[in-house]
Structure 1
Amino acid sequence: FYLPRLFVYHVEHQSKKEFVEVVQIQEMKIYKYIGYPAMWATFLSGAWMLYLNPVILESGGWMHAKIFVVVFLIMYSLSLDYYRKELLAGNCKKSGKFFRAYNEVPTLLALLIVGYVITKTFSFLFTFISIAVFAFIVYKIMTPKR
């Protein structure tokens, strides 16, 4: 949840070279030493759980929905490394507002995952409301203040 915030600082303070160098070090350490290993630990423990208890896949659509959202969370995590490398190379064209909005993506995905697990159901209404609230938050972040 912190890495996109660092991307905001990186993008919005590019004229301050020393500051950006410190932020780049933080970005690398957070991704390589915390984010990437945590992603793999989560993936492997989930795969191991399914291997030990495959009947859980027969418990309804909620587990399939959860796995689908987890795949998006993994893609999000990998995209953070892409943006980190783009920023490092000076090729990133994204704005601070984009990264502020992008910072909300894992919150939505976590909300969906936890909601599916707690209710043990796949509800289109729950999914729609969650995505609508997320879209509203992103809209508020991206809309210029008057």
Structure 2
Amino acid sequence: MNNILWLKALHVSFMVAWFAGIFYLPRLFVNHAETKSTEIAQHLKGMERRLLYFVSPFAILTLLLGLAIIYAYGTSWFIAAKWLHIKLTLVIALFIYHGYCFKLVKTFALDQNTRSGRFYRIFNEIPVLILFAVIILAYLKPM
């Protein structure tokens, strides 16, 4: 049981680090979409790229540790934990979101963004909603 607790502690730690970046990156997109300054846009391009590449290993470690926890609990637990199936679906959605951020970073790098700051403000709310749902599922384990 002690090993599972370590896995959970590390899983949550890397998840927090990942979300810190996933929450901040769209705020950079907002500033980038709204700036008229070429100098600021160039600075934001570097920040966006560095942040995304910095938090990506945290996403991978979060996933690997989550899978290790599932493995440690076993197949019968996994099959019975219906709440976990919903959580994993949300995690997949978050990885799609994360992948889409790579596309957006490239779009900004090529000066091809056509979306407004308002779009990125709304885009920024997606991981917040996923995080709330995942926490509720993980702690309350409904069903």
Bin of the TM-score, shorter chain as denominator length: 0.7 to 0.9
- 1:22-33 maps to which residues of 2 (within 5 A)? 22-33=43-54
Could you say which residue in structure 2 is the equivalent of 1:61? 82
Q: More helix per residue: 1 or 2? A: 2
Aligned residues: 120
1:11 equivalent in structure 2: 33
User: Could you list the per-position Cα deviations for residues 59-98 of structure 1 after superposition, in whole angstroms to 9, with x for gaps in the alignment?
Assistant: 3320100111111111111111111111111122211100
Q: Structure 2: where are the runs of 5+ without partners? A: 1-22
What is the match of residue 131 of structure 1? none
Q: Output one character per residue of 1:30-49: Cα deviation in whole Å (capped at 9) or x when no partner.
A: 1001x211111111111121
- Normalised by the length of structure 1, the TM-score is 0.78
CA–CA distance in structure 1, aligned partners of residues 140 and 116 of structure 2: 37
1:2 is paired with a residue whose SS is helix
> Which residue in 2 is equivalent to 1:129?
none
Tell me the distance in 2 between the aligned counterparts of 1:88 and 1:31: 13
Normalised by the length of structure 2, the TM-score is 0.79
What residue ranges of structure 1 are gaps of 5+ in the alignment? 123-146
Secondary structure of 2:31's match? helix
1:70-85 correspondence runs (5 A): 70-85=91-106
AA at the equivalent of 2:50: K
Percent identity, aligned pairs only, is 28
Root-mean-square deviation (CA, aligned residues, Å) is: 1.2
Structure of greater relative contact order (alpha carbons < 8 Å, 6+ residues apart): 2
